[in-house]
Structure formats: structure tokens, C-alpha cells
Chain A
Amino acid sequence: MIALKLAIRNLTGAKLRTFLNAAVLSFAFVVLVFYMGLLDGWNRQSKLDMEAWEIGEGQLWSKSYDPFDPYSLQDAHSIILTSYNSEIDRGNITPILLVQGSIYRQGTLINIIISGIEPKQRLLKIPSRVLKSESKEVPAIIGSRFAKVNGIKKGDYVQIRWRDKNGTFDALDVEICNIFKTNVSTVDNNRIWIPIKRLQEMSGLLKEATILVTSNPNIDMPPTDWIFRDKKYLEKEIDNIIFAKKRGSIVVTILLLSIGLLAIFDTQVLSIFRRQKEIGTYIALGMTRMEVVKLFTLEGSIHSIFALILATIYGLPLLAIIASTGIPMPSAVDEMGVSIGEKIFPYYEIGVLIVSVLIMVLAATTVSYFPSRRIGRLNPIDALKGKIK
């Protein structure tokens, strides 16, 4: 208790030096918490968007479907089981048929995936209801990024080309009747959405689909033609990206903490040199060497406590404001095919906060202890005379 009182008194006496150390450390802490929050926010937001726009509560894939192998897409379709029809009617399953195709913009061929979706579905946020059309023209919807890149506007007619199940070319003009905005690039980039029935007729794949999106994660085990992919499997890609980012963030964390800890280390070394007589007096008055080491280590640790208090004073409101307003993301990031919103709203998990606090306090204590060990080897007479080399 005496050590604690002495440590606090010594630190408050040092005024500006203590403040500067605490300020540097608090800055490192705030940036660390913000960075971790940003990654968690991105992760959370991406998963929510993916669930709403693309994966639902899981998907059934046609046996040959592999989203990373475009050449297998031609064979990736299976008959929709009649047992699923009632679930489809109730809106609990949304069938999607994918067929490779192409469009031409300014004389350049662009490979696309013609995606057939049920117009009346409500499971996904894709605005398919506008595809309910009785006219002969095939209505189509596209994402805003695809529209922007290719200069397509609402009301435009676009000629799409595809090959039917036998490999015969076919072409058709579709009317773009809506352009939707989504954060999920996989439902936007190079995708044209049309009614599934039309696509089934066009491709000759009657009553077939590539994917069945479901709202029921415990759907009956499918027969051999369909494979169930749960959310964990479907979100693996985003999990891997976030994991890689978090691993990368270790470097940033170490750098930030090093700046703060270096200041504490420097202060400790300087203190031992400048406070030789004080150390000698403590020992002369009856404190053991280890108690003096403890006192100096405690002083270093208390820097981190002061830093936490300081971080709470300015960091808490700052992080709260950022969490509510979000961080705008450059458009180039999502053009790379990564699911990301226009803004990322950081999400601070209590577990991450506790771990960050513990790391900082432990690190501050450790860097304070090492220079203080020297005190244990001091001769109190030399210390009193200020003769430490």
C-alpha cells in the first residue's frame, strides 16, 4: 500500500512527463481498440449482408456446382425436388439457376452469369418482384456496380447471349427494369437477374436450378443430387479474410504499443539514473532492494492505468461517434470482389476490450520491470552518493 501511495505521489509529482507517457500509451490503446473494432464491424456487417442478399440460412448446391470453377457451371444444375415445392411456395426456399452468358458493351465481350430467380421470393433482398412481367420482353435487374462499369441505365435494352443445354447459341434483348444497390459484390458483379422460369425455358433446363437458398438451417438432408452448405461453410471466405487481417493487425499492434512502451522504458531508465539518491535513501530507511524494484515497476504499471483513464476521457466519445457515423470505404475495395459496404461501422466486443487492456497493463509492467532490476544490484552507499555507473 505504501508502495502504491509512493508510486502515485511520484508520478503526480512528475506532472508533464507522466502526462506525456500516459498520452502516448493512451493513443496507442485507442488506435488498437479502433482497429480491432473496425475489423469486427466489417466482419459482422459483411456476414449480415451476405445472409440477407445471398446465402440466407444456408444453401443447397447442385452436386457439380463450384463457384470457383466457371467451367463447371454448364453442368451445375439439378432437378428441383417436388418435395421442396411447398417450401418454395411458402417462400422458405428460393431456387436460383445460373447460366453462363455474355453481353457486348462498346464492342467488347463481357462474360456474365445469367441468374434466374423466382420473382415472388422474399427470402433474399434482391428486388425480384419487379421481374413479375406478363409482357413478351424479358425483364432484367442488375446491380449498380455492374451498371456503372458498363454504362447501363434503367430502361436500356441489352442483348444477352448464352448457350442452351445442348451448346446451341441463342440471343435475346432484355429490358433493364431496375438497378439495385447492394454491398454484396457476388450478386452484383457481372450478374443479370431474370425470372427463373424464363431462364429455364431459354436454356432448356426445365424445373432445374443450381442453388436452393433456404431459410431453414435444419432442412431435411437432401438426396445425392444436392449438397447442403451451412452458413459457416458459406461465410468461410469472409472469415478467412478477417482472420488474415487480424493476423496482419498484430504488426500494427506491436508497432503502436512499442511507441508507448518505449516511452515508459525510457522514463524508467532515466528515473533510475536521476533518482539514485532517492533509491539510496529508500534502502537506507529500511526498504529492501526488491521493494524498491517493486515501487519502480509499479510506477511504470500505473502509467498504463493513467493511459486507460485518459483513453476513456477522449477515446470513448471519439470511438462512439465513429461507431455511429461509420468509416467511408473507397469504392476500389469492393470492386476487388470483397463484400464491403460504403461505410464500415466499427463493432467493439467487450472481450476484445478486456484483452486489449490486459495486454497494455502487462506490457507496461514488463517494460518497467526490466530497467528496475538494476536497483537490486545497487550499493546503497554509492546510491546515496550518486555514484552509480
Chain B
Amino acid sequence: MKLKNHGLSNLLIKRPIIAITLIVLILQCGFIFGQSADDILSKVDLNLSSNNRVFESTMNIIGRRGSRFIKSKTYAEGYKKSFTEYLYPPGDKGTKMLKLEDHLWIYSPSTDRTIQISGHLLRQSLMGSDLSYEEMMEDRKLTEMYKVNIEKKEEIFGRRCYVLYLEAKVEDVAYFTQRMWVDVERFVPLKQELYSKSGKLLKWMKSEKIQKTGERWFPMKVIYKDVMKEGDGTEFEITDIKFNQYITPSIFSKASLKK
């Protein structure tokens, strides 16, 4: 130990530039690899996931023939319970959706009827947007679904990011692999690329308006783009969000659809 210190001090005296460069490199490596990929993903989960959340959001679907604007309020508990009420446009106002496990109920005020749809509808496009019902309503932890590796570090949107490669470790995931650009300081994904099982890029997501909400950093705006679909994608923006709030259990019941 003494010999090592002696050597390092010798190097500092004799070759200060080399020594400083070495120290910086060692520190940088420690910074990169000191954060394990799992740690990074856990921190992402801490930012994005919550026991429950209540949020108001807008969705701007920019298609080939123009855009559609939708406003809604959602109550969600874990990734199995969710209740959404549409507030705008007037034609959809009052439409409510309740998701419990793999079942979805949609209440339409114009017909005063509730329709129950099998879980497969959850995989369909939500009101013609680039995201599905399950993407809109689910909040499953990434660490539960994916094993992860750090590929590299690079800068996007003016922020330094870890580039993570995620591969499914459970069977029931929509996207088998993902590439995720995670802000090194805030641990929020700034960009995600979603791939099919055979490795084809299917969809990308870009996060904007990263805001500090309580203890967590959260992307208030996400742009979803199905790569094969024409148009500029779907802008999903959260206008107000509250985490870990008390939600009356009766919200997640079919009775609440007609209230």
C-alpha cells in the first residue's frame, strides 16, 4: 500500500498530466459502471412507477388527415386497476373506461350503456392514437419485466444519457426488447425504441417537459410514434399529476361508470 502510494506520488510529481488523466478516467469508469444497469432501471422505476396516481392529461393525435385532441382524467392503482373519464371533445365527454385486470368496461353516455370487452381490446389502438389501451393504463415496473445492460453513454436533447438495452425476462410483455436513453442525472428515459421479438423497430417514444414532482423527476409530455404509421405520432401530455393519493375504492367499480 505504501509502495503504491509512493508510486502514485512519484507519478504525480514526475508526470502530473498523465497521472491526472488516469485519475479522471478511473473516476469516470467508476461513475459509469458504479451504477449498475439494474440500479439505473430501478431508479427509472422509482421515478415513473407509483402505488397509485391521479392525473389529468391531453392527447393530440396527429394523423394523416389532421389532428384530434382528447382530454381525460385518470385514476390508477398499480397496473391492474384504472379508471378514465373523458372530458373533451364534447362528443366523447362523459365516456368512461374501467380496467380491472384483463377486463375493460366502456360506458358511453350517449347510449347509456356499458360494454364489456375482452382483454384483447387492450392491445388495440386507443381512440386511433399511436398507443394502446394497455400502454395508456399500465404502470408495470420495468425491473419486473426486463433484464438490462448498459450499452454506452451518449448525449441526446442536450442531456447525457445511459443507453440501456432491455430484454424481456417474462413472457407476457408487449415489446420483447427496448433501447432506452436514460438521463444520467434525473434517471428519466428521454427516448425509447420498442422492438419486436425479431428485432424490428415498431415504435419510439420521446419524453419532454421533465419536471420535478415531489421527490421524483417525471416526463410530463411523451410523444409516441408508430414507425409504420403515417402522421407525426401522438402527443400525450400530463397537465396535472398526483402520486400516492388516497383513491376511494368505489372508483374502481362498475357502479362508478354511470355516476
Contact = CB atoms under 8 A, between A and B. Distances in A.
Given A74-B120, A169-B174, A169-B175, A108 B197 contact: no
Contacts of B176: 168-170
Contact of B231 (A107, A166, A167): A107
Nearest to B230: A107
A288 interface: no
A238 B174 CA distance: 39
A171 B64 CA distance: 23
**Chain B interface category by residue count:** 20 to 34
A243 interface: no
A104 B230 CA distance: 9
A108 B231 CA distance: 9
A321 interface: no
Given A168-B168, A168-B173, A168-B176, A159 B229 contact: no
B196 A167 contact: no
Interface in B215-240: 226, 228-231
B172 interface: yes
A108 B198 CA distance: 22
24 contacts: A71-B120, A72-B118, A74-B118, A104-B229, A107-B228, A107-B229, A108-B64, A108-B230, A109-B226, A109-B229, A159-B228, A161-B202, A164-B197, A166-B171, A167-B123, A167-B172, A168-B175, A169-B176, A169-B202, A170-B176, A170-B198, A171-B196, A171-B198, A171-B200
Contacts of A100: 120
Interface in A163-181: 163-164, 166-172
A166 B231 CA distance: 29
A106 interface: yes
Contact of A168 (B64, B117, B121, B171): B171
A27 B168 CA distance: 74
Interface residues of A, number: 20
Nearest to B64: A107
Contact of A159 (B121, B168, B173, B200): B200
B244 interface: no
B154 to A, nearest CB: 26
Interface string A145-162: 000000000000001010
B125 interface: yes
Contacts of A74: 118, 120
Contacts of B120: 71, 74, 100
Contacts of A170: 176, 196-198
Contact of B174 (A72, A167, A172): A167
Contacts of B197: 164, 168-170
Contacts of B230: 106-108
Given A104-B228, A168-B197, A171-B198, 20 more contacts: A71-B117, A71-B118, A74-B118, A108-B229, A109-B228, A109-B229, A161-B202, A163-B123, A166-B173, A167-B123, A167-B172, A168-B171, A168-B173, A168-B174, A168-B175, A169-B194, A170-B176, A171-B200, A172-B198, A172-B200
Nearest to A74: B120
A71 B102 CA distance: 13
Nearest to A69: B118
A245 B121 CA distance: 36
Contact of A71 (B121, B172, B194): B121
A100 B125 CA distance: 14
Nearest to B194: A169
A163 B198 CA distance: 12
A36 B157 CA distance: 72
Nearest to A167: B172
Contacts of B229: 104, 107-109
A169 B168 CA distance: 12
